[in-house]
Amino acid sequence: MTVPLVAFFNPKGGVGKTSLVYHLAWMYAELGRSVVAVDLDPQANLTSLFLDDERLEELRRSAPGRGTIYDAISPLMEGVGDVQTSVGLTMSRRLHLIAGSLELSSYEEVFSTEWLHCLQGSERGYRVTTAFWRCIQGVSEATSAEIALVDLGPHLGAVNRAALIASDYIVVPVAPDPLSLQSLRTLGAALRQWRDDWNVRITKRPDLAMPLPIGTMNPVGYVVLQHVIRLDRPVGALHRNMQQIPSVYAESVLGLDMAAPDPVTDPSCLGVVKWYCSLMPLSQEARKPVFQLKASDGAIGSQAKAARDARRDFETLARRIASASWDRAEPVSGLDPARSPSR
């Protein structure tokens, strides 16, 4: 039985995807779910949120196959072995990490070449294309994980294509700005193309018994990151951009022609999350999510209240993402403002 993979992806950077993955991974662990957080962004920002400098240096010196995602797939990429699954790092009893690496981007060309070779029925083409999927499934099995949350870099290259092919569900972090709206249009076209291309390749695999990801890449919704209002950006412009997100997402990502609902009532809106800017430095220093910050970490007064608000926000968001994807415990219809993260 395979573990569901949920990718957090937007071709535009700066929309909060890494912070979302980090906080949701900790929240699912608190809610009793065993989870693997996977850093497939070559910038490895998710890894740096989890690990301090000393542990990052230990990771760099790890034996081959026991360090980062790069170490896990390098034997296959270099033609001297296959994917290794001994790279899971334990963050807590229910939370594990597959660490990222700056070197991952060096395999962009290999992923691109082997993607084409799949059309020729090349076994190596399929093994390379599914390297991330097989590694994540192996680590998930070894750690008894129930879900895997995947952080991706902001690009539409071959590395991300292989990561998305491995994904069952996609959550799209988005910000209320024109570039984010344009990125939704780009994302929708890419997902449809890659899904169709993978369906063609599945039929050409040399061994019908070869385990492969289905490549559903099912978009379950978007999460809006609500930045602090800037004095140099009119509030009206932010509101107009926010109001456009539902229709652009429906048309570009879901392929639906529909009237634009308000984000509050849009069934695709999983939540609007505050950017807890005042707590982020404390969070990074303490190596814990903002909702775990205590007075001893420097969260006092209004910051302590913000930490409590963050717990409510991320628990609500975590439950909504679960119910919209792998749990299907309840239908996600309108977004109930009483249950939604803070606005």
What is the average pLDDT score of the chain?
88
Query: What counts of helices (H) and strands (E) characterise the chain?
Result: 12, 8
Counted domains in the chain: 1
Question: Is residue 343 one of the residues assigned to a domain?
Answer: no
Residue 330 inside a domain? The answer is no
Is the pLDDT confidence value at 271 over 70?
A: yes
Report pLDDT digits (tens) over 99-135: 999 999 999 999 999 999 999 999 999 999 999 999 9
> 10 Å Cβ neighbour count for 288?
17
Tokens, residue 275: 């950017």
In a domain, 322, yes or no: no
144 half-sphere exposure, CB direction, 13 A CA radius = 5
How far apart are the C-alpha atoms of 74 and 70, rounded to whole Å?
A: 6
Of the spans 74-83, 265-274, 300-309, which averages the highest pLDDT? 74-83
User: Residue 159, Cα to own-chain centre: how many angstroms?
Assistant: 14
* Residue 237 belongs to a domain: no
* 300 within domain boundaries: no
For 142-177, what is each residue's pLDDT tens digit?
Answer: 999 999 999 999 999 999 999 999 999 999 999 888
Domain annotation covers residue 163: yes
Q: What is the CATH number of the domain that holds 119?
A: 3.40.50.300
Within-domain flag for 279: no
Q: Quick check: is 178 in a domain?
A: yes
Q: Which domain does 112 fall in, by range?
A: 5-221
Phi and psi at 244, nearest 5°, equal: -85, -20
DSSP H helices in 223-342: 235-248, 280-286, 302-324
